[in-house]
Amino acid sequence: MIRERLRVTLQTDLEKMRGEFKMEEKYVDYSIQQMDTIKEAFKEQAQTAKEAGWLASFITAITRPGLTWIAFGVYVAVKAAGLTIAFQTNANWAEVLTKSYDEDDFAMLNMMLTFWFVGRSIEKYNKS
């Protein structure tokens, strides 16, 4: 009786592991397909830019970094304005500084850093 229960338990555990492994395989396949799609999109974008001429290539190349710098500049200007107002109204600037950096700020900074450092590394890896 105990042997039968142990055998059933082991078989159940084995089937669970097989199911988890198949799910992981599907996730890996999906990730590979996603990376291949991104790679093809970049190839098409590069080909289109070459065919469009130097001006279109320049505009395409400067758009993402330009928008990133604009967004970062606006972000810094808003934070600097908040600190300036805190100084002018004799508010506790340390409290203003600590309360002005919240989860949304962290998310935006994380998004930019991930795009420029992690995403670009993946692109370079896929090109090779």
pLDDT digits over 39-60, tens only? 888 888 778 777 777 787 788 7
Q: Are residues 58 and 46 in the same domain?
A: no
Query: In one letter, which amino acid is 68?
Result: T
Question: Does residue 48 sit in the same domain as residue 58?
Answer: no
Please determine, for residue 121, whether its predicted confidence score (pLDDT) is greater than 70: no
Residues 44 and 7 placed together within one structural domain of the fold = yes
How many other C-beta atoms can be found within 10 angstroms of the C-beta atom of residue 116? 13
Same domain, 48 and 59: no
Q: Which of 30, 52, 74 is the last residue of a domain?
A: 52
Q: Is the pTM of this model over 0.85?
A: no
Query: In this structure, what token pair is assigned to residue 20?
Result: 């988890």
Pairwise pLDDT comparison (117 vs 74), residue with the higher score: 74
Residues 58, 113, single domain; the answer is yes
124 in the same domain as 67: yes
The tally of domains found in the chain comes to: 2
Alpha carbon 48 to chain centroid, angstroms: 25
DSSP category for residue 31: H
Alpha helices (H) in the chain, listed in sequence order: 2-52, 54-88, 93-100, 103-113, 120-127
- Are 48 and 66 part of one and the same domain? no
- Provide the domain limits for residue 116: 54-128
